[in-house]
Each structure stands twice: as structure tokens, then as C-alpha cells.
Amino acid sequence: MTAYDDPTPPTDELRALDRLTGTWTVSGQARGTVRYEWMPGGFFLLQHVALTQDGHEVTGMEVIGNPRPFGEPTGADVVSRFYDSLGNTFDYVYELTGDQLTIWAGAKDSPAYYRGAFSADDTTVTGAWTYPGGGGYTSTMTRA
């Protein structure tokens, strides 16, 4: 069997992130827009970012999905890599439990993470990034 013959569908954990699809207006200590869309096939969720934070323009793209290296089984965690216009790359782990979205910077259970909550009608996500040593910022995403 080749990588092209693997019948494994996208995981339920990844498909749960469908709630993010669409365009969102970001307000709070980061401002701008983010847009989520599925790559054809449904195995990767793409995020397009255009934000201003601390006076800096942040533009980039994130690819979110389950890892499946060639010839290996699908990984359990939903992971991502973010690429920005300054040449930086950042890795994350996504976890959605009920209405609570957690995004771990680097590895799962990292001391740097985002935790936000979807509203009952899925039109807002309100939360904050927490950084080790006491940093971070708050933001609200509102469906455009």
C-alpha cells in the first residue's frame, strides 16, 4: 500500500475544528482578520492571518491537521505549523473539548497556550494567550 492508498479518513478531533471555518474579525489586544478553510480532501485546515499586535503587522498562514508521515499511521494529536511574513515558523497542538479551544505552543501541555470558548451560537470565540512568566494577551474572534 502506498501513501495514496491509505483509506484512513480525517480524525474526529480534526473535523471538530470545522467550527472555525469562515472569516473572523479579531478584536482586543490583537486586531485584524483570520480566515479558516479546508484544503481539498478535508485532511488539513488552513488559517490565513492578517493581524496587528503590539504595533506589529503579522501576516501568515497555518496548516492544521493530524501528522501522517509517509508509511506511518495517523498521529493522534491535531498539530499545526504557522508561517509568517518575517520567515518565522511556529508549531502548535490544537485541542477542542466541548466549547473550549486550547492551542498549545510547541508541545501539548506547554506553559504557553491559548484558551478560548465558543459562544453558544458559534459566532464568537473569546480567550487569551498565556505565556510563561506572566505574559500574554486577550482577544475575541467574531464571525464576519
Note the pLDDT tens digit of each residue in 30-78: 999 999 999 999 999 999 999 999 899 999 999 999 999 988 889 999 9
- Indicate the pairing of strand 44-53 with strand 56-65: antiparallel
pLDDT at 4 over 90: no
Where residue 121 falls (left for φ over 0; alpha for ψ -120 to 50; beta otherwise) is alpha
Query: Chain centroid to CA 66: how far?
Result: 12
pTM of the model: 0.93
Type of residue found at 143: R
Residue-level pLDDT at 72 = 87
d(CA 68, CA 74): 5
Residue-level pLDDT at 3 = 59
